[in-house]
Amino acid sequence: MEETKRKKLIRKAATIFIVVLLLLTFFSNTIMNYSLPEVATEPVTSGTVSNKVRGQGVVETNTDSEITVSGNRKVKEVKVQAGDEVKKGDVLVTFEEGENTELDEAENTLESLELSYAKSLLKSAPDYTEDNIGIKDAKQDLQDAIDAQEKAAKNDKALKAAKKEYDKTKASIETTQATVDSLQAKADAFAEIGDYDTIVSQLADDEKAMKRLKEDLEIAKAGGEDTLSIDREIEDKQAAIDKEKKLVESLKSSKEISTSLAAAKKSLANLQDTLATQEAKVTELSANQTLADAKTAVKEKKKTLESLVRALDKRKEDDALTAKSEALDDEAAQKEIEEQKEKVEKIKNGDDLKEIKATEDGVVADISVKEGDSVSADTPIARLQLKDSGYIVKISVTKEQSRLIKIGDEATVENVWDDSVSASVKSIRVDTENPNQNMIVTFEVKGNVQVGENLAFSVGERNNRYDAVVPNNAVKEDSKGKFVLVVKQKGTPLGNRYTVKRADVEVQASDDTSSGVTGGVYEYEDVVTNSSKPLENGMQVRLVQ
């Protein structure tokens, strides 16, 4: 029984815990949702956007006329004020009587201009004497270098010939020395055999002795004596004679060799003397300037001359330009003097000026002086808008908008219902006050309008189709460029969660309500048009209920 009771209590406690957990989960999700930024969205569509540029501006005349005064004056009375219509000849401002210091200043200026012009006429003509002397010297140096090159060329030719003869003689000496050495060796060899004359004399003596021995042999034979010893002597003597005859024959060649050796030695000595002379000539020619050095010198001298000539030509050219410039300056000075003379005469003639009148019909756009003011010469004191010149209105537009229109486009005047009033684009120029972002569009206006009237224009209307069209208030811009915030949906067990994702876009065209864009946004996606808090990329949001 107690066991059953305990189980019931456990089940009841578990049920209560699960219910509390579910309630906490539900309410925590609901509380978190109410803390999220609330956003309004609109879907991306495809469609057309009208490229229309709108703006408004004040009517003014097409041409202004500035009113100035000659001389220093003091304002007595201002007869008009800004916005007054005046006719030609109407008095605008009157002046008090007084001394006009402008005449003295103008005359002093004229005197100064005339003095400066007189000084400019005293300039001396350019002097090129030193330049011409330098060029003349450079020409002589070049001619000397050319002469030296020709001399070096001849020397080079002679040196080559001398070296050739020297080498030839040296080769002959080597050949002759070899001949002398060969003959000397042969002569030395024959000198070991003996003297030719001595052997010839010995041969003659032995032949005489042989003759006597033969006579003694005949006598011995006739007397019946023993001839063995005589025969032996005859044999020995004959052997000696035969040897001596051979030596004589051999030594005959020795004689010729001695003669040839003496001739070869004499030829060698002559060749050596010739070689010494040729060597001295080669040394002498080699000491002279080489042809290569002479050619280098000619190039350097030619380069120096050309540089001097170019420098003189450049100086003459510069002087000619200076002369032309000075002539123009003199001409300008003469013109300035004439203009100053006219100014002096004008001041003299208008020295009694007491008032300024309107030169044309128009509207006083601006009056810059008041009673008691002192004004100086040529200072604007009033500006008239001339009626006969027509009317214009200027409006400032962005550079992107300026690309949608062109000169000549007809514009619609939206706040005037008079059919006689028309407008067209006259010019499109950079806005000097904001040159990086804006352009000034000037409209030429025709019809019944008044200076100072405010007109509203629309121009450049063209319908183009775009794949992605978003409300204008969905397009944001920061330092990185233009973008939209796309709402992304993700399903969870507790319901759908919504986050925003940045999509960079480029605006192609805009009208009053929508913009055609290209970039990371596509048809049927939802984009944020409004938010209860500032949003960041990836932030979780809740949709307007």
pLDDT tens per residue across span 90-147: 887 887 765 556 666 777 888 888 888 787 777 767 888 888 999 999 999 989 989 9
> pLDDT value at position 79?
79
- Tokens read off for 278: 């040729």
Assign 89 a pLDDT band (cuts: 50, 70, 90).
confident
Residues 286-338 pLDDT 10s? 888 888 998 999 999 899 989 989 998 888 888 888 878 777 888 888 888 88
Between CA 65 and CA 385 the distance in angstroms is 6
Helix axes 129-193 and 228-286, enclosed angle (nearest 10): 170
107-116, 150-159, 177-186, 490-499: range with highest mean pLDDT: 150-159
> pLDDT value at position 446?
85
Residues 165-204 pLDDT 10s? 989 998 989 898 988 888 787 767 666 556 667 777 877 8
Residues of the chain with CATH 1.10.287.620: 131-295
In this prediction the pTM is: 0.33
- Mean pLDDT over 479-490 rounds to 93
- Mean pLDDT over 266-292 rounds to 89
> pLDDT value at position 99?
54
Looking at the predicted structure, is the pLDDT value of residue 32 above 60? no
> pLDDT value at position 351?
52
* DSSP states along 338-381: HHHHHHHHHHHHTTT--EEE-SSSEEEEEE---TT-EE-TT---
Architecture of domain 65-100+351-385: Beta Barrel (2.40)
Residues 347-401 pLDDT 10s? 666 555 677 787 777 777 778 788 888 777 667 777 777 666 677 888 988 887 7
> pLDDT value at position 252?
65
Looking at per-residue pLDDT, the higher value among 468 and 59 belongs to 468
Between CA 249 and CA 260 the distance in angstroms is 17
Between CA 520 and CA 522 the distance in angstroms is 7
Query: Sheet harboring 410-413: ordered strands across?
Result: 53-58, 454-459, 410-413, 422-430, 438-446, 391-398, 60-61
Tell how many helices (H) and how many strands (E) occur in the chain. 7, 24
Between CA 156 and CA 287 the distance in angstroms is 11
**Sign of the Cα pseudo-torsion (254, 255, 257, 261, in order):** positive
Instruction: Tell me whether residue 129 is exposed, middle or buried, using C-beta atoms within 10 angstroms of its C-beta: 0 to 12, 13 to 18, 19 or more.
Output: exposed
Looking at the predicted structure, is the pLDDT value of residue 474 above 90? yes
Looking at per-residue pLDDT, the higher value among 94 and 503 belongs to 503
> Which of 29-33, 37-41, 149-153, 491-495 shows the lowest mean pLDDT across its residues?
29-33
Please choose, from the candidates 452, 396, 390, the residue with its C-alpha nearest in 3D space to the C-alpha of residue 423.
390
Assign 498 a pLDDT band (cuts: 50, 70, 90).
very high
CATH of domain 131-295: 1.10.287.620
> pLDDT value at position 447?
81
Report the half-sphere exposure of 229 (CA within 13 A, side-chain side): 4
Query: Sheet harboring 64-67: ordered strands across?
Result: 64-67, 382-386, 362-367, 85-86
Residue 286, H or E segment: helix 228-286
Between CA 241 and CA 202 the distance in angstroms is 9
> pLDDT value at position 12?
75
- Mean pLDDT over 263-271 rounds to 86
Looking at the predicted structure, is the pLDDT value of residue 29 above 60? no
Residues of the chain with CATH 2.40.50.100: 65-100+351-385
Between CA 147 and CA 167 the distance in angstroms is 30
35-54: b (≥16 Cβ within 10 Å) or e: ebbebebeebeeeebbbbbb
Asked if 61 and 389 count as a contact pair (C-beta separation under 8 A), the reply is: yes
Between CA 199 and CA 243 the distance in angstroms is 10
- Mean pLDDT (the chain) is 81
Instruction: Tell me whether residue 464 is exposed, middle or buried, using C-beta atoms within 10 angstroms of its C-beta: 0 to 12, 13 to 18, 19 or more.
Output: exposed
Residue 21, H or E segment: helix 2-35
37-41, 77-81, 435-439: range with highest mean pLDDT: 37-41
Looking at per-residue pLDDT, the higher value among 381 and 151 belongs to 151
> pLDDT value at position 522?
92
